[in-house]
A and B are shown apart, each in its own frame.
Chain A
Amino acid sequence: MSIKKTQAYKVFMKPMVEANPVSVAILGICSALAITTQLIPSIVMVLAMTFVLTMSNVTISLLRHVIPKNIRIIVELVVISTLVILADQTLKAFMFDVSKQLSVFVGLIITNCIIMGRAEAFALANGPWLSMWDGLGNGLGYGYILIVVSFFRELLGAGSLFGIKVIPQALYDAGYVDMGIMLLAPGVFIVIGLLVWAQNIYTKRTQ
């Protein structure tokens, strides 16, 4: 009960639905769209993204009194890209296949507007403890959208989850066909559109 009252909890929960970075603030959609054809790469992407977001929020928050105002964007970019290099090298070393699949999109975490946005809007004005929770919350808020989208795309587009077939052969024999469009570009736009529609209806009802 008491944990729900702490400020850290509030900062952490806010980006989950109410101020979700992807579906409400419309930030960082590029990568949310590109790598969601399968579940495994999207989960890896979420982990990389959450790591970079949390660490950059903490670092920038620690440096917030030292960074000169007019060159802060460059400083932020350097902090972020250093963290992205760490994430990228780790992926290349330990999960080479997934890192090949994600290709340039790991690098593009640098320009993911969520990170810049949180650094500018939160980390520059708050202490490292709260910034860490804000980073985690935003990373996971971004992550759950990615995972839901890739769940539907992999299920409907390839009939599998985590690379394992889940749609029984009997259904294919009865004439069921995978929706190829789910794996292509237009599918993902439409899935996200419908998802946001559902979320809008849900948040209206709970208010």
Chain B
Amino acid sequence: MFEHLLSLAVESIFINNILLAMFLGMCSFLGCAKNIKTATGLGLAVIFVLTITTPVNWAINNFFLKPGALAWAGYPELDLSFLVFVTFIAVIASQVQLVEMLMEKFSPGLYVSLGIFLPLIAVNCAILGTSLFMEQRGYGFVESVVFGFSSGIGWFLAIVTFSAVLQKLKYADLPKGLDGFAINMITTGLIAMAFMAFAGIKLTA
């Protein structure tokens, strides 16, 4: 069991990195990477939100939405799975709001450093994407916690690496048209190529 979870974690951090292989969360990735501090803050906030929302969405999917999930309430043949999108996004948006309020009340220090990123995260596709992958691949509860957490770590690693490269890129002398978005994409491509070297690592037999 432990080995299985470990291999799931390694796979979602390195091999199927949510950003570099699944392309989720690109908008905030490109928008917030100019400064390493911002990038770290946003990365931490993503880890945090993913670790909470993925298991909660798992619970909602398993007890309310899946075909036959409402058997406990006396409706065994009900299938609400078409409501998955709207429920997941509502859960994510309200949880982000909740986390923001709790954080402001109980840990103002953390709120000051992460707070401004939280509203952005509600529409970050990495969050919704992780929940949708969790539903599609049929993970169990523990698996969904591990999957959410390690996807967050993967996203964090990618944005911090990218923003470190950008710091150095400032001093490079680039052709005019290539500057900005174009070179950012090519840089990301090269980082993705580096991450591809992890493909083929498998922990379980």
Contact = CB atoms under 8 A, between A and B. Distances in A.
B198 interface: no
Interface stretch (B34-42, B108-116, B164-172, B175-183): B175-183
B124 interface: yes
Interface string A58-85: 0000000000000001100110011011
A24 B196 CA distance: 28
Size band of the interface chain A makes with B:
35 or more
Interface residues of B, number: 45
Q: Interface on chain B toward A: helix, strand, loop, or mixed SS?
A: helix
Interface in B1-33: 20-27, 30-31
A26 B180 CA distance: 11
B136 A77 contact: no
A77 B183 CA distance: 32
A111 B125 contact: yes
Contacts of A200: 176-178, 182
A184 interface: yes
B90 A190 contact: no
Interface string B128-152: 1100110010000000000000000
Nearest to A33: B23
B185 A110 contact: no
A185 B177 contact: no
Specify which of A108, A186, A187 lies most central, judged by the most chain B CB atoms within 10 Å of its CB: A186
Interface stretch (B47-55, B68-76, B79-87): B79-87
B122 interface: yes
A196 B132 contact: no
A192 B184 CA distance: 10
A189 B192 contact: yes
Interface in A158-204: 181, 184-190, 192-194, 196-198, 200-201, 204
Interface of A: 23, 26-31, 33-34, 73-74, 77-78, 81-82, 84-85, 88-89, 103-104, 107-108, 110-113, 116, 181, 184-190, 192-194, 196-198, 200-201, 204
